[in-house]
Structure 1
């Protein structure tokens, strides 16, 4: 029963929606943003539920033994229900945020385009043939929603964007490194389906360089935030970078969905957890 509940949280995309909320919260804290946090959090949570259930509902079965795909095949109605509930919830919270319709629409379009190649229509299928930068695209979407979008919602002025740029670049390259591991695991299937990306094209030697260079860049921009944020916050930003650098060999050897969709996805919010714990302890 415990495993069934854990699978529900993980594979119904509630867990990844919590990751998104944690990252948004940390962006608001680091950048000291003033915005309608409650309604924006509701919008992010439900839109993440909607988009991920939509994505996985359209994902066909695989010859690879995937616990998530097997769960999805058994829970098709639940995935569709999650998509509908997520859509209704995000629409409800959007009503309270309608004055920011332009940056929100940008997030919705970007999110849709990532899953669009899975739609059974030639108008969308061709996107898979040209999606060489799909890993870059996904990393940008996550960075946009969790970092840039909160700043746009707070009407952050261009004169105050240095720390925003540093945090955005940090987030992008950390997420990109994590996405590389996902695409490395799935690259044979991507090749079989004709999905093109840098990860399917590059040899292992160059892929390793890209992976570690991304993490070095992420670490560099985390350190660049040091004058503006407390030292422990910088440490919290560096912690997931270090863990991601250390788990590469393990993740490539152990391809369980639990390793990827719980542990690796969880690394995206690891910094926010440390940050929150530090504040809860009094920010000493």
Structure 2
């Protein structure tokens, strides 16, 4: 768990410290303005997280799983880092039309379900139901962040679901993904409260999502739904 925390800290702070992101206007985002004013500190924090994650990876003998973990790490890094050349300039995977939310959902599902299964020496097929449930829940919530970035993505020429379907259409798509997540959870025999409570909270978050919402609506409330799902399994 600590290794995953350190790796997550590394990826998120590297993303925040990207040079091209500091050339973009902060607009009304206090979070982005703060990141632009603390770029050096974020880069140092990313470096420290890389050291901790690397040490834990070596100490716990995760090297034997390197062929399975390496593609996951590559996806996480290539999501924001423009390392792939396409149509005359380098682009990140997040710039591929409509791919952003699927990358987020895929990586987070594999990190929170796939890695524990791997550490427990269990085949991933045993966790397929939970993996699918987690994927569609994260997929629905990822659309909320696309709504947050709606104008910025349009200016950057990045096609997302809110840009293609409109904000209302993206919300309806999010609720559809939530219904799939809830169906998969109930079908695998999970406690109804552990399935329906986070689904209903996620539905409310999607309903209230607007580009003008404050940073904490996204950073705490939206991401917090994922913690509610985890907590619900311990309480029922």
Bin the TM-score by the shorter chain: 0.7 to 0.9
2:5 maps to what in 1?
45
- Secondary structure at the residue paired with 1:116? coil
C-alpha RMSD of the superposition: 2.4
Residue of structure 2 equivalent to 1:208: 171
The runs of 5 or more residues in structure 1 that have no matched partner are 1-40
Post-superposition offset of 1:47: 0.4
Name the counterpart of 2:150.
187
Divergent runs of 4+, >4 A? 118-123, 126-129
Match of 1:153 among 111, 116, 119: 119
Alignment pair present for 1:267 and 2:225? yes
Give the aligned partner of residue 130 of structure 1.
96
**Stretches of structure 2 lacking an aligned partner (at least 5 in a row):** none
**How big is the shift at 1:204?**
4.0
Answer yes or no: is 1:76 the counterpart of 2:39.
yes
Q: 2:15 aligns with which of 40, 55, 64?
A: 55
Alignment deviations for residues 62-82 of structure 1 (CA, whole Å, 9 cap, x no partner) = 342112111112212210111
Tell me the distance in 1 between the aligned counterparts of 2:120 and 2:71.
16
* Structure 2 match to 1:12: none
Could you state the TM-score of these two structures normalised by the residue count of structure 1? 0.73
What's the offset of the Cα at 1:110?
1.2
Distance 1:187 1:225 in 2: 35
- Between the two proteins, the alignment pairs up a number of residues equal to 230
1:103 positional shift: 1.9
Question: TM-score by structure 2 length?
Answer: 0.87
Point out which structure has higher relative CO (alpha carbons under 8 A, 6+ apart): 1
Q: Determine the C-alpha separation between the residues in 2 that align with 1:91 and 1:148.
A: 19
